[in-house]
Chains A and B, each alone.
Chain A
Amino acid sequence: MNWTKKDLLGITELSKDEITLILDTAESFKDISKREVKKVPTLRGKTVITLFYEPSTRTRVSFEIAAKRLSADTINVSSSTSSYVKGETLKDTAKNLESMQPDVIVIRHNMPGAPHMLSKIVNSSVINAGDGAHEHPTQALLDLFTMREKKGRLDGLKFVIIGDIAHSRVARSNIFALKHFDSEIVCCGPPTMIPPFIEDLGVKVEYDINRAVKNADVIMMLRIQKERGGVSYIPSINEYSTIYGLKQDQVKKAKKDVIIMHPGPMNRGVEITGEVADGPYSVILDQVENGVAVRMAVLFLLTGGEA
């Protein structure tokens, strides 16, 4: 399996072999974060810019740590502190950044397709760190890595994703990724938050959370995307929490060795109770830990080797 891509824009453009290669490569990089010297010289001399037009804690820090552990230099640009507030277009910002010869630009933007546009105008590798409600490929990859680590496989699982599916790029990327494997995918949430025709992607839709979680191997909870108008799709947060929040009662209906995932940030007491989030089935912090390894693998594959 040879890696040939310059950019990582979405899961849709990855083959099953490419996904597996990223996960396998990440295995080797995971050990580095457990050592006393958490650094290898692999990407010495490379420059990674993280360009974030939306708020982020986990993803931005994760990319930055991943790049630094590979000895790359990192520079963060946030929209609030950039010339964006002075009216510069994304295209101009990108061209200007490129003049400083970065090797990778990691971009998060509220407009779907922004990373794709960027990849056409710059020579640097572009990584999509979330574009609107479209895709968030590295999140799906770290989710798959965590599932594979905990379950030992990606086939034959019942994967249930619950919440604001319609506005979730995490849901979309995870569905696209898991479609390569022989697992059952169930989407659950209020009808207003389930996009029409989502069954065409080969997933099942279930509106009753108790039925959805039955015998589940993996339960992934999503938060309501308030920044994308999510709240207007439900009568009230309280009602949503009562009907679609994950509580111990639901966890008991799943398989005995179920894992509970959440891409973060969590709204405790809304889509997930504190008891479940901090409980023995939760792998939420493992996801964060694995995020660094997966992003190290992605940075390595995109910049390493001759295309």
Chain B
Amino acid sequence: MHAFTTTADPVTAACGVAGHALLEVKLTDIAAVRELPVPAGITPLPARFLRHADEQTVVGLRAVLESVAACRAAGTSDAESDFADYGVVSAPCQPGRIPAAHCLNLLRSDGPSTVSPHIVPQCSLHSIAGAVSVALGMHGPNVGVSGGPHALSEGLMASMTLLSTGAAPGIWFVATTWDCEPTLDADGAPVERAFDPPICVAFAVALTAATAPAASRLVLRIAPLSPPPRQPRLVRSPADDVRRFAQAIEAAAVDGEASNRWSHAMPWAGELRIARVPATPRLKEAA
């Protein structure tokens, strides 16, 4: 038996917010995004870098690229090397389902020699973070987080944790999910839907140490102990969670009141809020 108890005081942590981009791409348009050249000023990707990547990697990486480009355009970072020490935390929701369906069909019909060697490096939980790290040369820690409906909570918690260790001066946090998950046919191909087409939603935001200059701050508040809910907090739409967060981040750069209305309850006793920090340069929006 144990003999210690915890304080009832809440615990808080904060980090800065700098640079962000929200991207929403229909499934049918992702092939085109896969082939897009990088934005101006960014080192081109290695040949065929995204050929075998999962859809959430394609859109998530693109969100980071556009946000980095916007940071440069705004003059908030003058060279790629400014992010070289950054880490990456990616928080997808069920990554890799379309390639997995294709792979499993082939395994069953034609045996193990047909399983692609790309499936593990490109369609695992870490793949998006790894792709961002490699694409932009970021040498801080890179991890994938969650893969489920609580990806936003877990991802932001992990990001703030890594910042608290001092392992990197900043973390690129990339949340990706589907608004309306694709339905696949028996061959693993997406079924076309005229109504509610699957849309991949990706939001990238650079989080910095609390002491660094920033337009606004994300505050993590871990509430006092309370009995956990018997059932997990209902997450109606991870995509809506990501969009509301993105809107709140954007609003924080402009209007403190709007961002103050946002909060995100985590599945354990904790919540996230945004606090506006006055008198810092405003970042230009991503295209």
Answer yes or no: are A and B bound together in one complex.
no
Residues of chain A whose beta carbon lies under 8 Å from any beta carbon of chain B: none
